[in-house]
Amino acid sequence: MPELRKDPVIGRWVIISTERGKRPTDFPPEPRGRKSKLCPFCPTNESSTPPEVYSIRQNGSGPDSPGWTLRVIPNKFPALRIEGDLNREGEGIFDKMNGVGAHEVIVETPSHELDLVNLENGEVKNVIIAYRERIIDLKRDPRFKYIMIFKNQGEAAGASLEHSHSQLIATPIVPKRVLEEIAGAKQYYEYKERCIYCDIVKQEISQDIRVITQSDKFLAIAPFASRFPFEAWVLPKEHDSCFEHINDNDAESLSRMLKETLKRLSTALSDPPFNYVIHSAPVENGCEKEYHWHIEIMPKLTKVAGFEWGTGFYINPTAPEDAAGFLKEIKID
């Protein structure tokens, strides 16, 4: 019998369609191959991107020249523009405003050949630090209400360039999905006077059927109401609403946990396309007690179809308990 499960925060229902019960080998790998045309993210091509806004450089090299190990640049084709005011206005019954915001690219490594999962721990830590520093910087601009970090890897997951990178978008409004998450967390807090994510962390550790891996500071789970097969979340065990509060030690610990989780996914599923998104509190927080930042990793193994578009309710052919079981058993170095 398929099971309906409700996401405890957002109230979204998911169908765990156990009869279709899919194992890792039921998802054939997407064809991938490195193409060889000029890559704007490779060293020596720095001039083909807008000037860098942040970089980590080992040898005192100048900006927008080779010698970096990580580089953050404005997106050349931004979804939102940094200049200008919002100018909210109506058009009859419709509402609109200017697309003001920031859209940056975090180039995670100078190597065109390596994915995030192949980097050294220290390099992944630098990626985490770069996320933190860019958020802290952009929070100073009062026009931005939300700052989202995400990564698309693989063409099927929406990556248009193959050189390993993440993105940051700062938006002039708090997106609806984020507001819903916060509203759900606040509702729980009002009733229980506890953070719902802290309760999830506690229950997952004690039940130990959806845990993928854990360390002192972080927990990786297949969430109870997983929308997608092999969906994985990484949560800090200690309560904090904002990702950018992370200190250097915890960034080190997170980089190990993120890398290990991605490694388990890439080994189990032959390097699948995926997205991850850092869920963190809005700039004008107001939910310090109730919200708890975390990372949601979504391998792209199934197609989102009409039913999901119409209902916002997902059909997932792999029970999260099975997914966690498979991922846990993977042998990694």
CB of 228 to a second copy, least distance (A): 9
Of 103, 163, 165, 279, which is the active-site residue?
165
Radius of gyration of the chain (CA): 20
Beta bridge partners of 316: 16
When asked if residue 261 is in the footprint of a second copy (CB under 8 A), the reply is no
Whether 246 contacts 217, CB under 8 Å: no
When asked if residue 91 is in the footprint of a second copy (CB under 8 A), the reply is yes
When asked if residue 8 is in the footprint of a second copy (CB under 8 A), the reply is yes
Whether 72 contacts 134, CB under 8 Å: yes
Alpha carbon distance 241, 292 (integer Å) = 4
When asked if residue 198 is in the footprint of a second copy (CB under 8 A), the reply is no
Binding region for a second copy (CB under 8 A) out of 65-73, 118-126, 249-257, 275-283:
275-283
When asked if residue 95 is in the footprint of a second copy (CB under 8 A), the reply is yes
| Residue 292 annotated in active site | no
Rule CB under 8 A: choose which of 315, 323, 324, 327 binds a second copy. 315
Rule CB under 8 A: choose which of 29, 51, 79, 215 binds a second copy. 79
- Cα dihedral 55→56→57→61 (10° resolution): 20
- Cα dihedral 111→115→119→124 (10° resolution): 110
* 3-class DSSP assignment, residue 152: strand
Q: Which of 83, 75, 6 lies closest to 40, judged by CA?
A: 75
CB closer to a second copy, 65 vs 98: 98
When asked if residue 16 is in the footprint of a second copy (CB under 8 A), the reply is yes
Rule CB under 8 A: choose which of 45, 207, 215, 249 binds a second copy. 207
Site for a second copy in 134-193 (CB under 8 A): 146, 148, 150-152, 155-159, 167, 169, 171-173, 175-178, 180
CB of 63 to a second copy, least distance (A): 26
- Cα dihedral 43→45→47→49 (10° resolution): -90
CB closer to a second copy, 5 vs 217: 5
Buried b (16+ CB within 10 A) or exposed e, 59-94: eeeeeeeeebbbbbbbbeebebebeeeeeeeeeeee
When asked if residue 310 is in the footprint of a second copy (CB under 8 A), the reply is yes
CB of 94 to a second copy, least distance (A): 5
When asked if residue 272 is in the footprint of a second copy (CB under 8 A), the reply is no
Whether 128 contacts 246, CB under 8 Å: yes
Which structure tokens are listed for 157?
């997951």
When asked if residue 235 is in the footprint of a second copy (CB under 8 A), the reply is no
CB closer to a second copy, 27 vs 68: 27
Q: HSE on the CB side for 143, CA within 13 Å? A: 18
When asked if residue 98 is in the footprint of a second copy (CB under 8 A), the reply is yes
CB closer to a second copy, 22 vs 263: 22
When asked if residue 84 is in the footprint of a second copy (CB under 8 A), the reply is yes
Site for a second copy in 284-303 (CB under 8 A): 296, 298, 302-303
Alpha carbon distance 170, 82 (integer Å) = 9
CB closer to a second copy, 69 vs 296: 296
Which are the catalytic amino acids? 165
